Chains A and B, each alone.
Chain A
Amino acid sequence: MGTMLKVEDLQVYYGSIHAIKGVSFEVNEGEIVTLIGANGAGKSTTLNTVGGLLKPRSGKITFEGKDLHGMAANKVVSEGMALCPEGRRVFQHMTVLENLEMGAYTRSNAEAAETLEHVYELFPRLKERYRQVAGTLSGGEQQMLAMGRALMSRPKLMMLDEPSMGLAPILVQQIFDIIVDMNKQGTTILLVEQNAQMALSIANRAYVLETGRITMSGDAKELAASEEVKKAYLGG
């Protein structure tokens, strides 16, 4: 199991706001790694920076041995990394199928057609509704679409930013089951969650982020059992 993603001493600013203050972590091939933390801790900022949407002030991001520094944001996906962003951000006025097609933007039509079948297997609901305009889907369906869309690029590493946000418990369970499925089929997962309990239950390893710094890290089960994490993130 080699290191797939390595982030070293990442510093990210929004203007003069110092949001990420020297974050380092790594994700190994085949793992599910979760990044947990309170609101405003900097989880999304970290993912968006790795995904290329934000430019770090300093620090190093290496993906499969390749330094991503200075790479255009739209090229990152071709390296084998997909980000399923916070708030889903599906293309509301486009159909389900068109959204999925956009997910495969960098790939040939033949490759995309093959992956589409796979995504439909994972999300049969999307197949039923392929002609529906995405904005009219339910929240859970939109989350499935966002995940399916990210999968369409056949990523080696899938980054998910709060996939359970705003979903009913039964759907949350379903989404987490699918994440585990994706992982079993060979996709490495970097998962950001507020729902720390669920995240820790499926992850191999975890990092705890607090106001822009990593304060704890280790085996997910051990962290889940630690008093500090229980108190701060698991409601007792």
Chain B
Amino acid sequence: MGTATPVDDETGLIAQLRAGDESAYEQVVRTYGGRLLAVTRRILDSEEDARDVVQDAFLNAFRNVDRFEGNSKLSTWLHRIAVNAALMKLRTRKRKPEQSIETLLPFFLDDGHHEERFRSWEEPVDIAMERAETRQLVRAKIDELPESYRTVLVLRDIEGLDTEETAKMLGLTANAAKIRLHRARQALRTLLAPHLAGPASAKAGETPGGKLS
């Protein structure tokens, strides 16, 4: 049982876990560990912390497997435990001084206009995101966001939590969570735009496909 394989019989696996079957623990770690690591890496920027958190999450899950209710999937349950463990880690570890987000927000002239003239992206985002390299780029840029903004963006836009849940998990007011999400999205746009914009010299109307109007 060396590699990650989809679990056909979750109920059987859970029964084995509850019975303390050693091979079941291993199967769970091999099956879900990689995905959980991807999740904790997104929240924490230290590889060591991300791994520690995955380990904590599994131990926590194994301890509480009796409380697992069959109405959600095992993967969903583990995912939630890992997210919670990652947030706990964020809260307890020493805050690193954080890069300011100001330089990644739009600048305005005195008359209230944007300072920048935004260049259209080369193709619609759905098309661009079909390429693995673009997806990789987006993940890398999310990782570049200052931590307190990245976590809000991850919880809201990627994990799909609502404002209230996000605020609660991070110990923020709902309003603060909203402001941070907005800034995080704007900052992500600033980071992505140079990579997604069409060529500066493109003659109007000549770029094939993907006109964003």
User: Do A and B assemble together?
Assistant: no
| A interface list, Cβ under 8 A from B | none
